[in-house]
Amino acid sequence: MTAFTGNDAAAAARSAEARELIDRAQSQDVLLTVLSAMDLCALGGPRQALFDEAPAQAWAGMRRRGRKQGPALVFQGLEELGLLIRQAPAVPFAAPGGDRGPGLADYAFSPELGVVMAARARPALAVTCELEKVPGRYPRFYALGDEQDPVRAVVEETPEGSPPGDFPHLRKMGPLACFYRYDLVSRTSAADFLARWALLQSNRHPNAPRLVTLLRLDQDQLLTVRTIAVHSSDGETARIGPAGAGGEQYDQATLTSIMSGLFSLQR
């Protein structure tokens, strides 16, 4: 499930801790970590299933020096937070005092980061949220599991604000200074979040429906399976379907049941 590196005993211990996190998430949401877009880019985020366009473009447009030095600084910071674990090199450096900085292959993921990266790398299914025709950062959900149970739990990705205080270096980073919070949740909790999110009211865009889109993995690509357009005028009930069309009004409990069905691989 999680691609831990390092010696077999240490990797097995981290895998056991990851399974414990998944078990705990069945009864309560588990905060895994908060990562910046810069962190995610250094960890290979733009090559993973889903990634915001603005930070991906900012990363691709970095100067060569920044692209070379940036990851080492990110890895150092993640190591200090305990999210990356330094491993003994498989092959010693060619000469003492070499200037080769540590790369991602020199680290193992902590259980928390391992769960995030495993879910983002190749989820059996993912669910995205957006306000129709309104660019922004929105929640996403990634299935986490294995061949026997592809949706054992769900990694919830939600936009996070910048830390309080004045950090000039964050202003210089632009979109790479965006932050994301990752929680490990049950399918029930994910469905409840989606129902409540779909009923939220937008003061700036009151007529824009909230879109919840299901994507499934097909030959290493996430393909759109279904998009649910939710229209709510009172924040208590909602209608599903095209704008202007009539239809049944659903309360939060019914919406939760509909959203729960998204986290099933049955077609």
pLDDT, tens only, 232-249: 989 999 999 876 666 789
Q: Is residue 71 part of a domain?
A: yes
Q: Is residue 3 part of a domain?
A: no
pLDDT, tens only, 107-154: 999 999 999 999 999 899 999 999 999 999 999 999 998 878 889 999
Q: Is 6 exposed, middle or buried (0-12, 13-18, 19+ CB in 10 A)?
A: middle
Q: Is residue 215 part of a domain?
A: yes
- Listed in sequence order, the residues at least 6 apart from 111 whose beta carbon sits closer than 8 Å to its beta carbon are 2, 14, 15, 17, 18, 20, 21
Q: Is residue 182 part of a domain?
A: yes
Domain that holds residue 229: 8-90+100-263
Model confidence at 93, pLDDT cuts 50, 70, 90, reads very low
Q: Is residue 1 part of a domain?
A: no
pLDDT, tens only, 14-35: 889 999 999 999 999 999 999 9
Name the DSSP letter for residue 87: -
Predicted structure pTM score? 0.88
pLDDT value, residue 174: 86
Q: Which of 204, 257, 263, 198 is nearest to 232 (CA)?
A: 198
Number of domains in the chain: 1
Q: Is residue 2 part of a domain?
A: no
